[in-house]
Amino acid sequence: MIVDLPSTTMVDVSKALVRMRDAGGAVTLGRVLTLVIATGEKNVEEAIAASNEASREHPCRVIVMCAGNRRGSARIDAQIRVGGDAGASEVIVLRGYGPLASPAVHDSLVTPLLLPDAPVVVWWPGKAPAVPAESPLGRIAQRRITDSASADNPGSMLDRLGKAYTDGDTDLAWTRLTPWRAQLAAAMDLRPGMPVTGVSVRGHANSPSTILLGAWLGFALHAPVQRDEVETPGGTRISGVTITADDAEITLDRITATEAVLTDPSQPDREISLPRRRLEDCLAEELRRLDADDVYGEVLRTCSTVKKRVKKSGKAQA
């Protein structure tokens, strides 16, 4: 069910939510958190679709704060989605116009709609504030999710996020690395005490995940890391990793969009499943934990130690 409320107030939105809940016969909310999505018009439907899918694992109230045209008089248009149009959540889309389009006032619009005594997570699918924890919405949240892959210059954004890191910050470029980290950690577990002398990560020039993966490997293996930029057909993507020791090299190279090959001289080559992660899967993973991700914080601060080398040959898949 979708209900539009043009030129409305937060009081009217709250009343409409109660009426729709009563009409649907809901006895209890059962929501575990409030997810606030701060985005522009371009990313609204994609973000809602991802939150609807993630809400099946984490029932929540989703509040989408969309900045409209800053010209003209102050006005809020709202839309409420429940039932099949909202997954296991209830979605409230707020579009602010005039002075109400400014991010400086978005916290005052969102606060009346927050679930009582429930954690608040804020997600910026597109452009994020320079210091998420000090932004108006970031100050009311226990968890703040950015996506450096959406930035014009992902490397610069990672630098800013590293300098401004606060417990509760995270980035979807980091979440996309979970399968890579799991496979590489498992490979290194088979070589306990392996004296690593260097690490090479390969990926697209605009891939923040490549930078974070290199920083994580350097942090975990206490070894120098080199990042090779390889030309790709498009998009931001990781091609492969090589971990070098005095007497061996372990490599993990992607061969298709869903598969990679793990090479270790001590055993036969293995093809492993390594599919690209969907946005909704990454969001669901981030909603599973609301505490600080200390490893991410340490890795983010060391991204500048990953040395870059541009390679003009070679092709990467995602």
Same domain, 11 and 129: yes
Q: 296 lies in a domain?
A: no
Structure tokens belonging to residue 143: 């968890």
Q: 286 lies in a domain?
A: no
Same domain, 106 and 193: no
Give the pTM: 0.90
Distance of CA 145 to the CA centre of its chain: 6
| Residues with Cβ within 8 Å of residue 19, at least 6 apart in sequence | none
| Coil, strand or helix at 165 | coil
| Burial class of residue 294 (count of CB atoms within 10 Å of its CB; 0-12, 13-18, 19+) | exposed
CA 269, CA 252: separation in Å to the nearest integer? 10
Same domain, 210 and 270: yes
Same domain, 49 and 101: yes
In tens, the pLDDT along 273-308 reads 988 899 999 999 999 988 899 999 999 988 877 767
Same domain, 192 and 142: no
- Residue-range definition of the domain harbouring residue 200: 178-278+302-315
CA 84, CA 219: separation in Å to the nearest integer? 44
Query: Across-strand partners of 95?
Result: 66, 77
Q: 39 lies in a domain?
A: yes
CA 35, CA 121: separation in Å to the nearest integer? 5
Helices assigned H by DSSP within the chain: 10-24, 44-55, 106-110, 154-163, 172-175, 178-189, 208-221, 279-287, 294-301
Same domain, 137 and 199: no
Q: 247 lies in a domain?
A: yes
Same domain, 126 and 240: no
Task: From residue 13, give the alpha-carbon distance in Å to each of 54, 60, 110, 227.
Answer: 24, 17, 11, 50
- Return the CA Rg of the chain: 22
Same domain, 19 and 59: yes
Q: 161 lies in a domain?
A: no
- The predicted pLDDT at position 31 comes to 80
Among 95, 130, 146, the domain-final residue is 146
- Complete DSSP assignment for 31-50: --EEEEEEE-GGGHHHHHHH
| Residues with Cβ within 8 Å of residue 298, at least 6 apart in sequence | 219
Among 146, 166, 201, the domain-final residue is 146
Same domain, 138 and 14: yes
Q: 162 lies in a domain?
A: no
- Complete DSSP assignment for 252-318: EEE-SSSEEEEEETTEEEEEEE-PPPPHHHHHHHHHT--S--HHHHHHHHTGGGSEEEEEEEEE---
Contact 215, 148 (CB under 8 A): no
Q: 257 lies in a domain?
A: yes
Name the phi and psi angles at 227, rounded to 5: -105, 120
Same domain, 24 and 116: yes
Q: How many Cβ atoms are within 10 Å of 225's Cβ, its own excluded?
A: 23
Same domain, 200 and 310: yes
Return the H-helix or E-strand segment holding 191: none
| Residues with Cβ within 8 Å of residue 131, at least 6 apart in sequence | 138, 160, 164
CA 94, CA 44: separation in Å to the nearest integer? 11
- The predicted pLDDT at position 313 comes to 40
Same domain, 99 and 210: no
Query: Could you list the pLDDT tens digit for every one of the 318 residues in the chain?
Result: 889 999 999 999 999 988 887 776 554 457 889 999 999 888 899 999 999 999 888 888 999 999 888 888 999 999 999 877 666 678 999 999 999 999 999 999 999 999 998 999 999 999 999 999 999 999 999 999 999 999 989 989 999 999 999 999 999 999 999 999 999 999 998 888 788 999 999 988 888 999 999 999 999 999 999 999 876 544 447 889 999 988 789 999 988 888 899 999 888 999 999 888 999 999 999 999 888 999 999 999 888 777 676 554 444 334
Total domain count, the chain: 2
Q: 250 lies in a domain?
A: yes
